[in-house]
Amino acid sequence: MKKKIIQSIAIIGSVSCINSMDLLEADAESTITNQPKELISYVDHYISTGDGVRIRSGAGTNYRILGSVNKNAKLDVISSSNGWYKITYQGRTGYISGSYVQKQRKIEDEEPVSNTSKYIVTGATVNIRSGAGTNYNIIGSAIKDQKLDVISTSNGWHKIIFQRKTAYISAGYTKKEIDHSNDSTYNEQNMISFAKQFLGVPYKWAGVSPTGFDCSGFIYYVLKENGKPYGRTNVSGYWHNNTLFQKVTTSQPGDLIFFQNTYTYGPSHMGIMINKNEFIQAGSSTGVTISNINDSYWKNHFLGYKRLKS
């Protein structure tokens, strides 16, 4: 009888030696194993920026703590949402606050980039981020009139060189630096290249900046940033302006193309010719995109071409 009591005490003693973290992780593991396993096809690599950052079982501070990671620990991020990063942790899924993570830079990000465009900051103080979106970490700032080396532009964000590394800044707070070395000439190809940088920017009624354009606002912005500040007007205003623009029967790159009776009667849509058949425009359902004048819709609504007077 005494032998059985001693064995029972030994068992109880061994259980009491399990620490609280082991119990917590065991409990969390049980909730995960009852769920269907997730197939992870892609991960991105980040690092922790804080010491002892907690990993939780869900995207919020009310979820269980599964463990913690120290500063500069490597993290495999599956996705992000509402300020939380979904990661793989010790063979299972966990969550970490986005305030304590930073994208791990690739080797190619450290290399200098020679093919850049010059832009100038127009905002008082503009955040520079580790990725193209406001959910990414702020890694610095730029002040008004500061010059930037822009590598590329997509969806309203410039990819720039910052402290010899790549970073991102909102294009809405910048403007292209105009080269005044040859002010007497007007280069249509430069204007077209500039316009193409905003492919994918969403449509916004009355929008006149890279955060969103309508069709005439896009024309206004492209002309203004290429040394032709003709003032903001609508499609009809551009079409009937014979002082700055002249009608032409055949187009060349850089000409304005007009359409009528689209969403309203009369001149109602416009774009910029890229080549003989294609034009770039800010469409209400597509945002800034490239279209073909031979498509049946555009052929049926075609109005004419106008060219900037020299």
The CB density around residue 239, as the number of other CB atoms within 10 Å, is: 21
d(CA 208, CA 258): 19
Assigned token pair, 114: 């020679």
- Catalogue all structural domains in the chain, each as residue range(s) with its CATH number: 17-25+42-104 (2.30.30.40), 108-176 (2.30.30.40), 184-308 (3.90.1720.10)
24 Cβ neighbours under 8 A, 6+ residues apart: 64, 65, 66
Paired with 307 in beta bridges are 246
* Closest CA relative to residue 86, chosen from 76, 99, 95, 73: 95
* Per-position b or e across 200-215, b if 16+ CB within 10 A of its CB: ebebbeebbbbebbbb
pLDDT, residue 16, reads 36
d(CA 239, CA 259): 10
Q: What is the pTM of this model?
A: 0.44
- Stretch (H or E) spanning 217: helix 215-225
| Extended strands (E) in 25-116 | 44-48, 53-56, 65-69, 74-81, 84-89, 92-97, 101-103
pLDDT, residue 185, reads 39
What's at 38, amino acid-wise?
Answer: E
pLDDT, residue 227, reads 84
d(CA 96, CA 77): 9
pLDDT, residue 190, reads 87
Q: For strand 165-170 and strand 302-308, is the pairing parallel, antiparallel, or unpaired?
A: unpaired
Look at residue 243 and give its three-state secondary structure: coil
The CB density around residue 68, as the number of other CB atoms within 10 Å, is: 16
Q: Which long-range contacts (CB under 8 A, 24 or more apart) does 184-193 make?
A: 186/226, 186/227, 186/228, 186/308, 186/310, 188/252, 188/253, 188/254, 189/253, 189/254, 190/226, 191/222, 191/223, 191/226, 191/254, 191/272, 192/253, 192/254, 192/272, 192/274, 192/280
Per-residue pLDDT in tens (0 to 9) along the chain, 310 residues: 444 444 444 444 433 333 333 323 223 223 333 333 333 344 577 888 888 889 999 999 999 998 888 888 888 888 888 888 898 877 788 999 988 888 765 544 444 445 678 898 998 899 999 999 998 989 889 888 888 889 888 889 999 988 778 899 999 999 887 654 444 335 788 899 999 999 999 999 999 999 999 999 999 999 998 888 888 999 999 999 988 899 999 999 999 999 999 989 999 999 999 999 999 999 999 999 999 999 999 999 999 999 988 7
Q: Are 93 and 38 in contact (CB under 8 A)?
A: yes
Distance set, CA 139 to CA 54, 107, 181 (Å): 22, 18, 34
Distance set, CA 183 to CA 133, 149, 178, 220, 261 (Å): 35, 22, 9, 19, 37
